Structures are given as structure tokens and as C-alpha cells.
Amino acid sequence: MKTIGVLDLQGGVAEHLDHFARLGAPARRVKQAADFHDLAGLVIPGGESTCLMRLMRILGTDEAILAAHRGGAKLWGTCAGAILLASRVVGEDPKLGLMDIEIERNAFGSQLDSFACTAVIPCVADEEIPLTFIRAPKILRAGPGVTILHRQAGAIAMAETADVLVTTFHPELTPCLAFHRYFARKCGLQPPEPRAGTDPSWSRASWTRQAPIT
């Protein structure tokens, strides 16, 4: 069965898993290199990109991601995940470098400048959908092979290639399933058509069902 992995090192792991579960798309946590078998796609969640990369190198996850990508797995980086996937990062060396974009971390401002808004992104949904920006980066430039899907305040906030998707905002922090549905379809899965309005199975604590057992 085709499965989507969510990189379980830091950030909104449980929230992404909750969205895929409500969507009816199979998803699981991945952490060690051995976890990356049979993935149709992989989500690299938001968090802190320097910390994420350090943990990835310690665990060998960076090489596992590159191998999964070479093997055909689609990748989706949200916020810090987008920084890790960029080929150019302002003021520092790139990390995975799998998308031809230049990105600047914290470019929307500090934690106090975080904000929520709505937008219409036609390829994702016909209606307005919520976006949440938290200490968000900005994509400053995109190469010729990159399709720009949304701009926010003049900066690129969502872009894709055939095998990589990046969002500088956090779709997992809203009730909306549209972005997870879009990525699942990119991975070759066929989740059901959306319901009208907000998914009634969501609550502000629904993600706790996906919290790790300790």
C-alpha cells in the first residue's frame, strides 16, 4: 500500500498525521534510515531547520531522504522543511538542495509578526482556505523548472516541481485538508472528494490522537 511518511524529529508531526488520518490517506512516522522503505511521499514538517538538519545527519536521515527522492518519493517541506529543500539559503549553506529556489529564513519577521489569513489557491481548492505563517521564511526567487502556486505579500509562499512541494506556511495548523489532499494526489493516492465547509471531525485537540506513546 502506498504510504506517506512524516519526518518525526521535530515540529508539527502529530498535526500532519492527524490531517492525513482525517483525509483517509495512509501515513506513518519515519525517523531512522530503515523507516524509509515503500514511501510514496514524505513530509518534512516545520520546526527549526538547523536543529532538524543536525538530527538528520546524526541519524543518517538526510541520506535516506535523498535516496527516497531518487527512488521516486514525492517531498513536501513546510516552513523549516522548505528551507531544508531549497538549493540556496540567504546567509548560509543549503541543506538538501532539492528545489531550485532561494529562500530567506524568518523573512516575515519575528514570532510576534506571525499571522493567519485566507487565500484562494486554484490548484488546491476553489474556495478561500486558511494560511498560518509562523516566523515564516520567504522564497525570493524560483528557477525556470519551478511552478509558483501562491504569493503572499509579494513573496513566493508555495511552489512545486514534479516531485517536490514547498509551503512557507503551516497547513497542518488549520482544520483545512486541502493541502494534504493536494499532496496525497501528487503522491499517487486518491483521497475522497472534499466535504463542504470545515471537516466536522476536526477539533483543536484532534491532533493529540496522533501523539507518540511514551
User: Could you give the residue numbers annotated as active site?
Assistant: 79, 170, 172
DSSP reduced 3-state for 210: helix
- Exposed, middle or buried by CB within 10 Å (0-12, 13-18, 19+), for 15? buried
DSSP reduced 3-state for 81: helix
Query: Using CA atoms, how far apart are residues 22 and 185, in angstroms rounded to an integer?
Result: 15
Question: Quick check: 84 and 95 in contact, CB under 8 A?
Answer: yes
- CA 141 from chain centre, in angstroms, equals 19
Question: Quick check: 13 and 50 in contact, CB under 8 A?
Answer: no
